[in-house]
Structure 1
């Protein structure tokens, strides 16, 4: 009896070690890309996610076959979802309440309108509704992180990964441009520090660029902009649930229903971390560690997605998706500017 248990344990360990070796090669490659691109961004400037994406795309041949394939898939799915879940450690319910009802309503309204417009405008441009909703969600919520989270609950097809990569590239580029241009707009309009914070936090796509733009103006602007941005990040939860409901039939037809739970684990993790952080149970040191881990997970995942995508597939996309995302960005800019200048937010 004892020898039988020992044999089963050995088999389990051997199986685990074998799977670890299979996944480990590709995962190690993605981590190396994440380390290299983070070093470049920290020392020479620029968006880390975009660097990781481009580095990964240059190694596309590794995803088609060979020893790295399984690890790349693991990073693109499991590591991605872990990174999104850990985003919940960045915010608390008290922070949301401090902004006031008007700002929260503005965030909810702007996010909803941009996503709806994305779906409608995509059809007008001859693109798929899925691409319109994905780009709208990325622009409206939190850039590349939202694109990765939303794509995780959308049905898989021949173009889904290409659409995700296209969205990440475009939204990261637009966010970087906004980080430079939007503080100039705030200066021209002579917005007060808090107004500028609401404007920047409500319009710029990625969290890092929001923080960078906010602290270019003042410390108060930086604090407010980061907080407004985190409210937008919180919108990821209801939007992911809506997307799951919208695409439930598509997942059924493609056989994905059994693989996708009613409520994804990464979404549950996000909500739980927000609640725990709101109760003050997460020490600052642990919170910082989780935020850093989230960032590393997302960079590693984007490197994997880059490896899985070829330049040839992106080249056939054309100009219409670019027009789509620029239009969504401009709509978000107009909505938030009107709310700040005429709605009295931040005064």
Structure 2
């Protein structure tokens, strides 16, 4: 029987790789340009994250300019694969010693924020007779870490594209509204900068939005707000793992027809980065490069997600997702405020 030469074996693989590159290159290039623009604009607007700029840019572009079909595959790849890769590099920002320094009572409060926010939002969504998949995405996005949590959960559950883009749009809208609201409410309640910063980190959806709110509060608020937020982000790993096990136990597959792994690869990568950043004294240049890569990947991904947000589709989904977003925001902020006050009084 004739045998195939290495060259014969390699050609189909090379052709498939070339076809995939041609298929995805236009959309990926568009997302890369959008990420570069967003990061550049962010440098001239202190306190405004490139991630927020990117997703707003994506929303604006897709609703003003009809994008050609040729860019669709690359945009989809960016909004899914690049987002998960960005989550991996996000792990380098987490230093376990900083999180542990919050103390056991505050760490317990953070667990209550995430668990209470998720279960409370799911309960409210059921009472409102909303689709379970849509409710779960909103619950995790608002309780953990915004669009990154939506992407992580979407990868291990049965969620359609409309539910994903709706959850991301709500995260952007309500998280951005929280940037001035939390500092103002904290001032009216007589909270000092540190407590107000803790409240911002415990209640606002995206880390970029937390940074913006911490800057508005001033004093030592920014540092403590980011640490509290990073502690919430760390809980993304166990939440996704639990949802993945639940999905496997029910014997259902993800939208691509595959059963989700017990722990998704990107979550393993995220945890590895947390361990590396917490164990080794990495040079500043390495940390800076990791932060740049993470920002670039997430900005490209946010632009891709923004391109999926059609204003007419948001109008079509009705008022219930917006009402749930309001209720979930109030719930998460309320749990965070109550917990922080209890820890402070104790």
Query: Do they fold alike, i.e. is TM over 0.5?
Result: yes
CA contact (8 A) 2:201 2:226 kept: yes
- Counterparts of 1:1-347 in structure 2 under 5 Å? 4-9=5-10, 12-43=13-44, 45=48, 47-58=52-63, 62=67, 66-156=69-159, 160-248=160-248, 252=252, 258=258, 260-344=260-344
1:60 is displaced (CA, Å) by: 8.3
> Any unmatched runs of 5+ in structure 2?
none
What is the RMSD of the two structures over their aligned residues, measured on CA atoms? Answer: 2.6
**CA pair 87-128 structure 1, distance change in 2 beyond 3 A:** same
Distance 2:251 2:64 in 1: 30
Could you say what secondary structure the match of 1:252 adopts?
A: coil
The superposition leaves residues 315-342 of structure 1 with CA deviations (integer Å, 9 ceiling, x where unpaired) of 2111111110111111111112122223
Q: Which moved more, 1:277-286 or 1:110-119?
A: 277-286
CA contact (8 A) 1:161 1:305 kept: no
Distance 1:153 1:10 in 2: 34
1:116 is displaced (CA, Å) by: 0.4
How many residues were matched structurally? 340
CA contact (8 A) 2:248 2:259 kept: no
Could you say what secondary structure the match of 2:58 adopts?
A: helix
1:27 is displaced (CA, Å) by: 0.9
1:108 is displaced (CA, Å) by: 0.2
Distance 1:253 1:205 in 2: 28
Distance 1:115 1:50 in 2: 24
Distance 1:96 1:253 in 2: 35
Distance 1:77 1:171 in 2: 17
Distance 2:286 2:309 in 1: 35
Distance 2:286 2:6 in 1: 39
TM-score (norm 2): 0.89
TM-score (norm 1): 0.88
**CA pair 126-238 structure 1, distance change in 2 beyond 3 A:** same
**CA pair 180-318 structure 1, distance change in 2 beyond 3 A:** same
The superposition leaves residues 28-74 of structure 1 with CA deviations (integer Å, 9 ceiling, x where unpaired) of 122222233444454465732431431353378547xx432332232
Distance 2:162 2:217 in 1: 37
CA contact (8 A) 2:215 2:221 kept: yes
CA contact (8 A) 1:200 1:210 kept: yes
> Any unmatched runs of 5+ in structure 1?
none
**CA pair 49-149 structure 1, distance change in 2 beyond 3 A:** farther
CA contact (8 A) 2:54 2:299 kept: yes
